[in-house]
Amino acid sequence: MHTLRSRLALWGWRSLANLIFWVLLKLWPYRRNLVLVNMARCFPTRSEKEIRQMVTAYFRHLADLVVEPFMIRKMPHGGLGRFVHYENTALIDRLIGEKKSIVLMASHYGSWEYLLSLPLQTACDVLAAYSPVSNKWLNAWLLKLRGRFGVTMIPKSEWYRRTLGWNAESSAIFVTIADQRPPESGKYYLDFMNRKTFIQSGAARIAVQRDCAVVYLDVTKTERNTYHFRFRLITAEARQLGEAGIMEHYYKALENTIERQPELWLWSHNRWKFHSRQGQKPVNALKLL
Contact of 99 with 171, CB cutoff 8 Å: yes
| Range 58-70 average pLDDT | 94
**DSSP assigned state of 120:** G
pLDDT for the residue 275: 56
**At residue 190, what are phi and psi to the nearest 5 degrees?**
-155, 175
pLDDT for the residue 186: 64
For the stretch 118-143, pLDDT in tens is 999 998 999 999 888 888 888 888 78
Residue 154, classed as helix, strand or coil, is strand
Contact of 181 with 198, CB cutoff 8 Å: yes
Run of H or E including 232: strand 226-235
Q: Which distant-in-sequence residues (6+ apart) come within 8 Å of 180 by Cβ?
A: 200, 202
**At residue 226, what are phi and psi to the nearest 5 degrees?**
-125, 130
For the stretch 5-46, pLDDT in tens is 778 888 898 999 999 999 998 888 899 999 999 999 999 999
| Range 62-87 average pLDDT | 86
For the stretch 206-226, pLDDT in tens is 999 999 999 999 999 999 999
Contact of 19 with 28, CB cutoff 8 Å: no
**DSSP assigned state of 280:** P
Which among 70, 176, 90, 89 has a CA at the least distance from the CA of 126?
A: 176
Chain centroid to CA 118: 14
**At residue 170, what are phi and psi to the nearest 5 degrees?**
-130, 155
DSSP characters for 189-219? EEEETTEEEE---HHHHHHHHHT-EEEEEEE
Other C-beta atoms closer than 10 Å to the C-beta of 81 total: 12
Q: Are strands 172-177 and 189-192 parallel, antiparallel or unpaired?
A: unpaired
Whether 178 has a pLDDT exceeding 90, the answer reads: yes
Q: Which amino acid is at 88?
A: N
pLDDT for the residue 229: 97
| Range 248-277 average pLDDT | 90
Of all residues in the chain, the percent with pLDDT exceeding 70 is: 93
Counting beta carbons within 10 angstroms of the beta carbon of residue 150, is it exposed (0 to 12), middle (13 to 18) or buried (19 or more)? Answer: middle
Beta bridge partners of 152: 127
**CA distances in angstroms from 194 to 38, 44, 56, 110, 241, listed in the order given:** 11, 9, 22, 21, 24
Whether 281 has a pLDDT exceeding 60, the answer reads: no
Q: Which distant-in-sequence residues (6+ apart) come within 8 Å of 4 by Cβ?
A: none
